[in-house]
Structure 1
Amino acid sequence: MNTKESIPSIKLYGAKRCHKTQFYLSFLNETGFPYDFLDVEINKDHADELRGLYLNRKLNFPTLTIGSKKLRNPRKEDLEKWLNKLILKD
């Protein structure tokens, strides 16, 4: 069984005004897993961090990272799959 120490870092890069970001915030809150929400519109450092994930240096949000896995605007099913694969494995 996983402990909190074995859970990869989860980050959500987005903007509070974005309906897709709101969907992911709600989804992540339901999972109970710890995550960081990084608002790229109000924090330049968060925006720069997000730009660094992409070769085109664009603010491609919402983007989630689970450890080293990057997911840009994933479907709910894909997000669940990666959470199960990266976090919920025994």
Structure 2
Amino acid sequence: MSVNQIQIHVENIKCGGCEKSIIKGLTSIEGLSHIVIDQEQQMVSVVADESLRETVVSKLRSMGYPEHGSVSGLEAGLTNAKSFVSCAIGRIS
């Protein structure tokens, strides 16, 4: 097991609501710590075993924050819509 800082460049982080939703969503994954969101750089950083990277990427994508450049066309539109919902939930929770 190799615990490292994993950085994932994502899309659609717009505000503090997005950040709250991402943190809440990622805390459901066991084995992650030190979740940091850099809104300006669109970067999500976690400390975890490298084997969890795909789990983190998948969770982010399901919430509307796909890895940069990983979606296009209609799928990009759908993930953008999901991010608006996640953002709204983050703002009210």
TM-score (norm 1): 0.34
Structure with bigger helix share is 2
User: Which structure has the higher relative contact order (CA within 8 Å, separation 6+)?
Assistant: 2
TM-score (norm 2): 0.33
